[in-house]
Amino acid sequence: MKRSRLPAVITCGVILFLFAPLGVLVVNSFNASRFGGEWEGFTWNWYEKLWAAGEVWDSLWITLKIAVSASLAAMLLGTLAAYALHRFRSWLQDVHHMLITLPLVMPDILMGMSLLALFVLTGVETGLLTIWIAHVTFCLSFVTMVVLGRLQDFDFTLLDAARDLGATQAKAVRKVLLPLLLPGVLAGGLLAFTLSIDDYVITFFVSGPGTTTLPLRVASMMKTSRSLPVINALSTLLIASTFLFAALSSRLQRRA
Protein backbone atom coordinates (compact mmCIF):
# COMPACT_ATOMS: atom_id res chain seq x y z
CA MET A 1 0.00 0.00 0.00
CA LYS A 2 1.19 3.46 -0.84
CA ARG A 3 1.96 5.72 2.07
CA SER A 4 0.94 9.32 1.93
CA ARG A 5 3.77 11.74 1.25
CA LEU A 6 2.09 14.53 3.20
CA PRO A 7 3.70 13.89 6.64
CA ALA A 8 7.16 13.84 5.06
CA VAL A 9 6.46 17.08 3.21
CA ILE A 10 5.17 18.78 6.36
CA THR A 11 8.18 17.52 8.32
CA CYS A 12 10.56 19.03 5.77
CA GLY A 13 8.59 22.26 5.88
CA VAL A 14 8.70 22.40 9.67
CA ILE A 15 12.43 21.75 9.80
CA LEU A 16 12.98 24.45 7.19
CA PHE A 17 10.81 26.78 9.27
CA LEU A 18 12.85 25.96 12.39
CA PHE A 19 16.22 26.51 10.74
CA ALA A 20 15.61 29.29 8.18
CA PRO A 21 15.78 32.17 10.69
CA LEU A 22 18.94 30.72 12.24
CA GLY A 23 20.44 30.25 8.77
CA VAL A 24 19.75 33.87 7.89
CA LEU A 25 21.55 34.96 11.07
CA VAL A 26 24.58 32.87 10.20
CA VAL A 27 24.72 34.17 6.62
CA ASN A 28 24.25 37.76 7.74
CA SER A 29 27.08 37.50 10.23
CA PHE A 30 29.37 37.45 7.16
CA ASN A 31 27.37 40.07 5.27
CA ALA A 32 28.89 43.53 4.87
CA SER A 33 25.38 45.03 4.78
CA ARG A 34 24.24 46.37 8.15
CA PHE A 35 20.62 45.20 7.98
CA GLY A 36 21.23 42.11 5.90
CA GLY A 37 18.50 42.89 3.40
CA GLU A 38 20.92 42.33 0.53
CA TRP A 39 24.26 40.60 0.16
CA GLU A 40 26.91 43.32 -0.01
CA GLY A 41 29.99 41.15 0.12
CA PHE A 42 31.80 38.88 2.55
CA THR A 43 33.31 40.35 5.69
CA TRP A 44 34.93 39.31 8.98
CA ASN A 45 34.21 42.79 10.24
CA TRP A 46 31.45 41.83 12.69
CA TYR A 47 33.58 39.09 14.20
CA GLU A 48 36.44 41.55 14.67
CA LYS A 49 34.06 43.97 16.36
CA LEU A 50 32.81 41.14 18.56
CA TRP A 51 36.37 40.18 19.46
CA ALA A 52 37.03 43.77 20.52
CA ALA A 53 33.84 44.03 22.61
CA GLY A 54 35.35 43.38 26.04
CA GLU A 55 32.04 43.55 27.90
CA VAL A 56 30.72 40.59 25.88
CA TRP A 57 33.64 38.44 27.00
CA ASP A 58 33.20 39.56 30.62
CA SER A 59 29.59 38.44 30.37
CA LEU A 60 30.62 35.15 28.84
CA TRP A 61 32.96 34.54 31.77
CA ILE A 62 30.16 35.23 34.30
CA THR A 63 27.82 32.97 32.33
CA LEU A 64 30.34 30.12 32.22
CA LYS A 65 31.08 30.37 35.94
CA ILE A 66 27.37 30.11 36.72
CA ALA A 67 26.69 27.40 34.14
CA VAL A 68 29.52 25.12 35.29
CA SER A 69 28.80 25.45 39.01
CA ALA A 70 25.02 25.25 38.58
CA SER A 71 25.14 22.18 36.35
CA LEU A 72 27.54 20.41 38.73
CA ALA A 73 25.17 21.03 41.64
CA ALA A 74 22.17 20.01 39.54
CA MET A 75 23.98 16.82 38.47
CA LEU A 76 24.59 15.86 42.08
CA LEU A 77 21.07 16.67 43.30
CA GLY A 78 19.41 15.33 40.16
CA THR A 79 21.24 11.99 40.22
CA LEU A 80 20.29 11.42 43.85
CA ALA A 81 16.71 12.43 43.07
CA ALA A 82 16.50 10.07 40.09
CA TYR A 83 17.92 7.21 42.17
CA ALA A 84 15.36 7.82 44.91
CA LEU A 85 12.49 8.05 42.42
CA HIS A 86 13.56 4.86 40.72
CA ARG A 87 14.31 2.71 43.78
CA PHE A 88 11.45 3.54 46.14
CA ARG A 89 7.69 3.37 45.81
CA SER A 90 6.03 5.39 48.52
CA TRP A 91 3.92 8.46 49.17
CA LEU A 92 7.16 10.33 49.71
CA GLN A 93 8.26 9.55 46.17
CA ASP A 94 4.85 10.53 44.81
CA VAL A 95 5.31 13.98 46.36
CA HIS A 96 8.94 14.02 45.26
CA HIS A 97 7.96 13.14 41.70
CA MET A 98 5.36 15.89 41.59
CA LEU A 99 7.88 18.45 42.90
CA ILE A 100 10.41 17.41 40.27
CA THR A 101 7.88 17.61 37.40
CA LEU A 102 6.25 20.92 38.29
CA PRO A 103 9.27 23.17 37.52
CA LEU A 104 9.40 21.61 34.03
CA VAL A 105 6.02 23.10 33.19
CA MET A 106 6.21 26.27 35.28
CA PRO A 107 6.45 29.33 33.01
CA ASP A 108 9.82 31.05 33.43
CA ILE A 109 8.29 34.32 34.45
CA LEU A 110 6.57 32.70 37.44
CA MET A 111 9.75 30.99 38.56
CA GLY A 112 11.65 34.27 38.25
CA MET A 113 8.94 36.17 40.03
CA SER A 114 8.65 33.73 42.93
CA LEU A 115 12.42 33.53 43.48
CA LEU A 116 12.56 37.33 43.41
CA ALA A 117 9.81 37.42 46.04
CA LEU A 118 11.84 34.98 48.17
CA PHE A 119 15.03 37.03 47.91
CA VAL A 120 13.30 40.37 48.52
CA LEU A 121 11.37 39.12 51.55
CA THR A 122 14.37 37.41 53.13
CA GLY A 123 16.62 40.38 52.35
CA VAL A 124 19.11 38.43 50.24
CA GLU A 125 20.92 40.77 47.86
CA THR A 126 20.52 39.68 44.22
CA GLY A 127 23.75 38.79 42.47
CA LEU A 128 25.84 35.81 41.44
CA LEU A 129 24.57 33.64 44.31
CA THR A 130 20.90 34.25 43.58
CA ILE A 131 21.40 33.53 39.87
CA TRP A 132 23.22 30.32 40.78
CA ILE A 133 20.38 29.23 43.08
CA ALA A 134 17.80 29.95 40.38
CA HIS A 135 19.76 28.00 37.77
CA VAL A 136 20.26 24.98 40.01
CA THR A 137 16.51 25.02 40.70
CA PHE A 138 15.39 24.87 37.07
CA CYS A 139 18.20 22.54 35.94
CA LEU A 140 17.57 20.02 38.70
CA SER A 141 14.35 18.67 37.17
CA PHE A 142 15.88 18.27 33.72
CA VAL A 143 18.90 16.37 35.05
CA THR A 144 16.63 14.12 37.11
CA MET A 145 14.52 13.25 34.07
CA VAL A 146 17.55 12.38 31.92
CA VAL A 147 19.17 10.24 34.64
CA LEU A 148 15.83 8.58 35.41
CA GLY A 149 15.52 7.56 31.76
CA ARG A 150 18.96 6.02 32.02
CA LEU A 151 18.18 4.21 35.28
CA GLN A 152 15.12 2.59 33.73
CA ASP A 153 17.47 0.78 31.36
CA PHE A 154 19.84 -0.26 34.14
CA ASP A 155 19.80 -3.90 35.10
CA PHE A 156 19.66 -3.86 38.89
CA THR A 157 20.51 -7.56 39.16
CA LEU A 158 24.07 -6.41 38.40
CA LEU A 159 24.12 -4.80 41.84
CA ASP A 160 22.90 -8.04 43.42
CA ALA A 161 25.61 -9.91 41.55
CA ALA A 162 28.23 -7.54 42.92
CA ARG A 163 26.82 -7.98 46.43
CA ASP A 164 26.85 -11.78 46.02
CA LEU A 165 30.47 -11.60 45.00
CA GLY A 166 31.26 -9.90 48.27
CA ALA A 167 31.05 -6.18 47.53
CA THR A 168 29.46 -3.93 50.12
CA GLN A 169 26.39 -1.95 49.03
CA ALA A 170 28.46 1.23 48.84
CA LYS A 171 31.16 -0.45 46.82
CA ALA A 172 28.63 -2.01 44.44
CA VAL A 173 27.09 1.40 43.82
CA ARG A 174 30.48 3.00 43.30
CA LYS A 175 32.02 0.31 41.10
CA VAL A 176 28.99 -0.92 39.14
CA LEU A 177 26.10 1.53 39.17
CA LEU A 178 27.96 4.82 38.86
CA PRO A 179 30.19 3.91 35.89
CA LEU A 180 27.19 2.59 33.96
CA LEU A 181 25.13 5.60 34.93
CA LEU A 182 27.84 8.12 34.12
CA PRO A 183 26.87 8.79 30.48
CA GLY A 184 23.32 9.62 31.61
CA VAL A 185 24.59 11.90 34.35
CA LEU A 186 26.91 13.66 31.90
CA ALA A 187 24.12 14.03 29.33
CA GLY A 188 21.94 15.55 32.04
CA GLY A 189 24.79 17.84 33.03
CA LEU A 190 25.27 18.97 29.44
CA LEU A 191 21.58 19.72 29.13
CA ALA A 192 21.72 21.70 32.38
CA PHE A 193 24.80 23.54 31.09
CA THR A 194 23.05 24.59 27.84
CA LEU A 195 19.88 25.58 29.67
CA SER A 196 21.87 27.65 32.14
CA ILE A 197 23.84 29.42 29.41
CA ASP A 198 20.63 30.25 27.53
CA ASP A 199 18.42 31.41 30.32
CA TYR A 200 17.26 34.98 30.06
CA VAL A 201 13.88 35.39 31.78
CA ILE A 202 14.61 33.84 35.18
CA THR A 203 18.11 35.35 35.31
CA PHE A 204 16.67 38.79 34.52
CA PHE A 205 14.48 38.61 37.63
CA VAL A 206 17.19 37.56 40.07
CA SER A 207 20.25 39.37 38.69
CA GLY A 208 21.90 42.26 40.45
CA PRO A 209 24.48 44.89 39.65
CA GLY A 210 27.62 43.50 38.01
CA THR A 211 26.07 40.16 37.06
CA THR A 212 25.22 40.75 33.41
CA THR A 213 25.20 37.25 31.97
CA LEU A 214 25.55 36.72 28.23
CA PRO A 215 21.80 36.60 27.47
CA LEU A 216 21.27 39.76 29.53
CA ARG A 217 24.10 41.37 27.54
CA VAL A 218 22.55 40.27 24.24
CA ALA A 219 19.21 41.74 25.31
CA SER A 220 20.78 45.09 26.06
CA MET A 221 22.76 44.99 22.80
CA MET A 222 19.51 44.45 20.88
CA LYS A 223 18.36 47.87 22.00
CA THR A 224 21.11 49.69 20.10
CA SER A 225 21.02 49.27 16.31
CA ARG A 226 24.80 49.84 16.10
CA SER A 227 25.52 46.46 17.64
CA LEU A 228 22.96 44.42 15.67
CA PRO A 229 25.43 42.87 13.18
CA VAL A 230 27.71 42.01 16.10
CA ILE A 231 24.82 40.03 17.61
CA ASN A 232 24.68 38.08 14.32
CA ALA A 233 28.32 37.10 14.78
CA LEU A 234 27.80 36.21 18.45
CA SER A 235 24.65 34.23 17.57
CA THR A 236 26.53 32.24 14.96
CA LEU A 237 29.15 31.22 17.52
CA LEU A 238 26.45 30.32 20.04
CA ILE A 239 24.45 28.29 17.51
CA ALA A 240 27.61 26.44 16.51
CA SER A 241 28.34 25.57 20.14
CA THR A 242 24.75 24.42 20.65
CA PHE A 243 25.19 22.07 17.68
CA LEU A 244 28.31 20.71 19.27
CA PHE A 245 26.72 20.20 22.69
CA ALA A 246 23.56 18.64 21.27
CA ALA A 247 25.57 16.18 19.19
CA LEU A 248 27.80 15.33 22.16
CA SER A 249 24.82 14.88 24.47
CA SER A 250 22.94 12.62 22.06
CA ARG A 251 26.13 10.56 21.66
CA LEU A 252 26.34 10.11 25.40
CA GLN A 253 22.71 9.11 25.71
CA ARG A 254 22.89 6.62 22.89
CA ARG A 255 26.00 4.76 24.04
CA ALA A 256 25.02 1.88 26.24
Partner 1 sequence: MSTRLRPARQWLITLPSLAWLGVFFVIPAFLVILTAFRPADLQGGVGPGWTLTTLKEVQDPAYLPILWRTFWLSGATTLICLALALPVAFQMARSGQRMRQVLLLLVVIPFLSNFLIRIFAWKSLLHPEGPLTKLLIALHLIPENAVLLNHAGTVLLVLVYTQLPFAILPLYAAAEKFDFGLLDAARDLGAGPLSAFSKVFVPGVRRGILSAAVMVFVCCLGQYVIPQMVGGTGDEMLGSKIAQRVFSDRNLPHASALAGGLMLAVLLPMLVVVLWQQFGRKEAE
Tell which positions 25-84 bind partner 1, by CB under 8 A: 25, 28, 35-38, 76-78, 80-81, 83-84
Q: Which is nearer to partner 1, 123 or 179 (CB)?
A: 123
Site for partner 1 in 210-229 (CB under 8 A): 215, 218-219, 222, 228
Task: Single out the residue of 32, 177, 186, 239 in contact with partner 1 (rule: CB under 8 A).
Answer: 239
Contacts of 41 (CB under 8 A, 6+ apart): 31, 32
Task: Single out the residue of 60, 64, 201, 208 in contact with partner 1 (rule: CB under 8 A).
Answer: 201
Q: Which is nearer to partner 1, 57 or 83 (CB)?
A: 83
Size of the site for partner 1 (CB under 8 A): 90
Min dist CB 205 to partner 1, Å, is: 7
Task: Single out the residue of 21, 179, 209, 210 in contact with partner 1 (rule: CB under 8 A).
Answer: 21
Site for partner 1 in 160-189 (CB under 8 A): 160
Site for partner 1 in 105-164 (CB under 8 A): 105-111, 113-118, 120-121, 133-134, 136-137, 140, 144, 156, 160
Min dist CB 153 to partner 1, Å, is: 15
Min dist CB 64 to partner 1, Å, is: 14
